[in-house]
Structure formats: structure tokens, C-alpha cells
Structure 1
Amino acid sequence: MKNITERHQFILQELKKAGSVNIQELSDLMQVSGVTIRKDLKLLEDKNLLFRTHGGGSISNPYAVERPINEKEFINAEQKQSIAKAALKLIRQNDSIMIGSGTTVFELARCLQPAKQITVITPAVKVTLELSNRPNVEVLQLGGLIRQNSSSVAGSYAEYILDHISCGILFIGVDGIDFDFGLSISNLTEAGLNQKMIATAQSVAVMADHTKFGKRGIGKICDLDQIQYIITDSGVSVDTVKSLEDRGIKVIVADK
């Protein structure tokens, strides 16, 4: 068994080589318990030498940073478009749906062309503008102060409206999907409204590209067991898909 100094040096060496480390692998290599490894990772994180992640540690910061919506729309644009097309299959005719804020769910609004009447509830001004003249689409815009970074409303007015309506399915974007922390976004102001939208919908579909896995935003919006679908792109790992499906979540991997 290695002493604490030797263990820490070994962990940092492995981290330098691979960019990330796994608790089970470290436990097997050093012949110590997983509990010991978790304590070691916590100590190294306290010294700003790594970031703890689900099942291990990483050099990369897992915490999401809020970016303006006009900057985010150019990040992984092709993946977002394919995710939106896959999400369309979850929309039934004559349905009421909710579309949250964010660039990935905005792509859903762009490609929504229903053959029959549908009601779309949204806090996102861009979604409303996109759909306001779309055939067979009736839009209910939630009210409140508009946040410049997201072009979306937040606050008590929007939450009050949600207390008096229902919808079939919510399509929501997130900044982080973490197996321990759950779903999160990078702005606390909008976290409460997202929580309310999740409670209002009969089912929840998360639209997120593969880079959101293993990340955390500052504001938690729900646990993984509160969602029914995750729609993502082909960059997601097989292990991640299996772990999600083991939790009862239907994972839809969009075609390129």
C-alpha cells in the first residue's frame, strides 16, 4: 500500500498522462479502497490540482460558464441541429409542448412544422419570434423580466402562469449533466423557472450535446430521475448511455 504522498504523486502522474483518472482503476492499481481514493481526490481538488468528476478526476474544469446566447449558438451547431430533428419525433399531433431557453432547444423551434394545431409555451423570446407566424402553431409567451444573456424571461410572473397551465412534454436545454449533481444551468436566476417548468410538464426531454456530460452549472434544476428522455449526439460515450438507461432514462442519439 502506498502512503498518502506516494498516492498523490501517482494520481497526478496518471492525470498528466491521460487527462483524467478513474476511482476504480486507481483503487486496483494502488490496492487501496475506493473511499481512500475519493479522499485523495478531495484533498487534491482542495489544492487546485484537479477537478473531481463522477467516478474520478480530471484536468478539465467540469463547471459550466455562462455565455451570451449569440455566442453559444455557434458552438456545436451541427450537433444541435441533428438533436432538434431527433426531438421532433417526440411531439404528438394536437399536443401542447413547452420549449425552454437556450440555443439547442431553439433549433427545435426552427424546424417545427406541425401538420395540425399545436400550442407552444415558452419563456424564450427568440422562440416566440420564430414561431409567432408559423402555421398551426399557437404560442403562449411566459411573462417577466427579460435576461439579456439568454433572451429569456425569469421570475414570479412566469412562474405564476405555470401554476395555471399544463403541457404534454417539456424540451429543455442544460449546461451540465452530472450523475451525482443532476441537471444544472449556469445562471441561478433562471434555475427556479426551469424547476417550475419541469414540475408543470407530464414528461421532460433534455436536449444536450455530448459536451454537457460531466459538467456542472451553478444552479441545479432537477435530479436525473425527474426526466424521461435525453436527446444527444453521437459523441456521447457508450458507457454514459448505458448508465442513463440503467436509471430508466430513454436516450435518443441523433444521426449526424
Structure 2
Amino acid sequence: MSQTKTAEPHRRLLVEERRRLIAELVAKQGRATVEELANEFGTSAVTIRADLETLARQGLVARSHGGALPVHTPVSNDTPLSIKETRRHAQKVRIGQAAARLIRDGETIILDSGSTTAEIARQIRQMKLESLTVITNALNVALELSGLPNVRVMMLGGMLRQTSYSLVGPDAEQALGKLSADRLFLGVDGLDPAVGVTTPDPLEASLNALMIRVSRETVAVLDASKLGQRSLSVITPVNQLHQVITDASAPDEMIETLRGAGVEVTLV
């Protein structure tokens, strides 16, 4: 355990925030006991056991005697969004902040599904915009933006992918084909300069490719762990991207390759 407490005694963490931090800590350290977590978060063992039971039901940790172990999910699999949201969260928040700074009043943007694009939606909630139209195929993104009086949300129909809370298929493509956008924020599972931008699901890839075609600008948002990774379905070659926003741990050679392909790279 780290010497510095994750939660200072005077600062009470929200339940969901504490559970997210617990999942991150278990994944990082490889194990954690109830006693260690209780000390780390300044709460009771009973509360930690309840947290671990909830996280285990969500597939975010594996319960063990007296504590928890990480859930090992291969990168090549179509990882559930609930697990993605716990990974590299701080980097995704910074990426979301940088992406939100590109948004201008009166624009129409597309927010693709994913944990990083959800962070962009959370940033939009804090922005003082007079008018913004957001097209999305993601249920979680639409919910994040619901209730904002100056943000019009256009939800695409289609078949629900339960792992990503996204809508895909012919109905989604038919609806999107009638629209146009100023900017697409594209979340991806892999970006390999030799192969292109990829995602595990062919239907998702087909809809993403259409998103690119109806948008004037495409910005890929992804943490550095996705660089060099390949998934089943190719969305587009990297030279079709206008910009990539990723975190500062991205390898220098990867950054130079992307810039050599004419892609603007922003590191946060």
C-alpha cells in the first residue's frame, strides 16, 4: 500500500468514486486485503466488503478470502464498458478536457461510444454554451447530457451492444446518413499506424466509418495503452484522422509516425 492515503480523513469520498479507486488499486497492485483497503480509504471493513461484493458482481474485481484480486481480461476481447471506465481514468479525464476545449458554440458534434468519449460529455456539462447539438449512438453519453437546456441530443437508433451501451446496425447507419457534423470525437480500441484505427465489433466499425464520412473533422481520443493495439475490425486508415488526443506516456516513435502521416497529435 502507498504511504499517502488515497482519501484524507476530512474528505469523504462518494460511494461510486471510492469503488472506482478500489478497482484501480486492485488492478494496479495485483491484490488487496479488506484491512488494507479499510485503512487506505478511512472506512470500516464492513463497508469495504460491501464495496468488493458490488465490484465483483460488476465484473471489476475477483473476490478472494479476505480481499480481492484483479479480473484478467485479454486486450483483444470486447471489454465491457464498466471495466473500461476503471482503467487509466485520470488520463481519460485529461483527454476529455482537452477534447472539450475544441468545441465551439453552435456546432454539431458526434460523440462515439466509449469511456473516453463519456469523459467529454462530462466536460460539456460544465461548459457555458448557448447552443450545441450532439449526435451519439451511446446510451451513457446521452444520459450524461440529458437535462442540459442548451444541448440538443440526437440519439441514433439500432441494435444495442450491451458491452458498450452503443447502438449499431442498419437502422443507426440509416439515421446517421441523413445528418452532418462539424466534428467527430472517435473512441477506439486500437490504433496501429500500419493497420489503422480498429474496434472489436464489425457493426461498430461500419457505423464509425460513416461517422467519419459525415463529419468535417475527425478527432480520435484514446489513452496511450491503445497505441499499437489491433482489434478485429478496421474503421479507417490513420491518415483519415485529423487529430489524435492521447496522454503523455505515448511512445515517441508512435507520435512521430502519426505526425508523419499528417495527423496532429495532442499530448495531455
TM normalised by structure 2 equals 0.70
Tell me the CA shift for residue 144 of structure 1: 0.9
Note the alpha carbon deviations across 1:156-207, whole angstroms, 9 max, x for none. Answer: 1111111111000000111111011000011223111111111111110000
Structure 1 segments (4+ residues) deviating >3 Å? none
Structure 1 Cα separation of the partners of residues 266 and 230 of structure 2: 21
1:107 and 2:125 correspond: no
Contact 1:64 1:176 in 2 (8 A): no
Q: How does 1:36-115 map to 2 (within 5 A)?
A: 64-112=76-124, 113-115=127-129
Distance in 1 between residues matched to 2:233 and 2:176, nearest whole Å = 20
Structure 1 unaligned regions, length at least 5 = 1-61
Matches within 5 A, 1:162-241: 162-241=176-255
Match of 1:143 in 2: 157
Larger Cα-atom Rg: 1
Equivalent position SS for 2:106 = coil
Q: Secondary structure at the match of 1:167?
A: coil
Select the structure with the greater relative contact order (CA < 8 A; seq sep ≥ 6).
1
- Correspondence for 2:146: 132
Residue 144 and residue 130 in structure 1: after superposition, are their counterparts in 2 closer, same or farther (change >3 A)?
same
Shift, 1:93, TM fit: 1.4
Equivalent residue for 2:256, pick from 230, 242, 246 = 242
Q: CA RMSD in A?
A: 1.3
Matched, 1:154 2:168: yes
Amino acid at match of 1:117: S
- What TM-score, normalized to structure 1? 0.73
**CA distance in 1: counterparts of 2:164 and 2:234, whole angstroms:** 17
Q: String of CA shifts for 1:23-72, please: whole Å, max 9, x gaps.
A: xxxxxxxxxxxxxxxxxxxxxxxxxxxxxxxxxxxxxxx96321111111
Question: Residue type of the partner of 2:117?
Answer: V
Which residue of 1 is the match for residue 63 of structure 2? none
- Cα separation, 2, equivalents of 1:205 and 1:164: 21
Question: Counterpart of 1:92 in structure 2: which amino acid?
Answer: R
In terms of mean alpha carbon deviation, does 239-248 or 206-215 score higher?
239-248
- Percent identical pairs in the alignment equals 37
Give the distance between the partners of 1:147 and 1:115, measured in 2 at CA: 31
1:114 Cα shift?
A: 3.9
- Secondary structure of residue in 1 paired with 2:101: helix
